[in-house]
Amino acid sequence: MHLHAVTMVVPDYDAGIAFYVGQIGFDLRADVAQPGGKRWVMVAPKGSQAAILLAQADGPAQQGAIGNQTGGRVGFFLHSDDFCADHARMLAAGVSFVEDPRHETYGTVAVWHDPWGNRWDLLQLA
């Protein structure tokens, strides 16, 4: 078994694609129309088995979860084989980092967030 996908609630499918594919550089794995105006939108880092299912918020409860799906904690971890290059590329693409890179016993890390507030680590393991 392996982790196939996790869901991330976004305000709009196209905004999610624009950020994760257009800015971050993830692959768009699927964008398939579903009944009721929904779409099956899967994005993933290049070479990753696991993907993110972008789910457009439907109703107040889901809208309230946008950007706070992990209670304000870092909930997503993007592994890098070249932290410096990926960090520089993401900065150039307008990604908002909330801290400068730091070195921990487990590797080099910097916290960033998507446009809706979901917190991520960019991480290169030691």
Angle (CA) 54 70 51, round 5°: 35
**pLDDT at residue number 91:** 97
For the chain, how many structural domains are there in total?
2
Tell me the average pLDDT across 50-66. Answer: 95
**pLDDT at residue number 75:** 94
Same domain, 79 and 53: no
Domain that holds residue 34: 1-58
**pLDDT at residue number 107:** 97
Q: pLDDT for 10-40, tens place per residue?
A: 999 999 999 999 999 999 999 999 998 899 9
Q: Give the pair of three-digit tokens for residue 44.
A: 């993933």
Domain CATH for 110: 3.10.180.10
Mean residue pLDDT of the chain comes to 96
In a domain, 86, yes or no: yes
Distance CA 55, CA 39 (A): 8
Three-state SS for 70-102 is: CCCCEEEEEECCCHHHHHHHHHHCCCEECCCCE
Residue 113, beta-bridge partner list: 96, 119
94: phi then psi, degrees, rounded to nearest 5: 90, 15
In a domain, 64, yes or no: no
The sign of the CA dihedral 57, 28, 114, 126 is positive
- Helix/strand/coil percent split, the chain, to 5: 25, 40, 35
Same domain, 80 and 118: yes
In a domain, 65, yes or no: no
Among 12-16, 54-58, 68-72, 97-101, whose mean pLDDT is lowest? 68-72
Domain end position, chosen among 58, 83, 101: 58
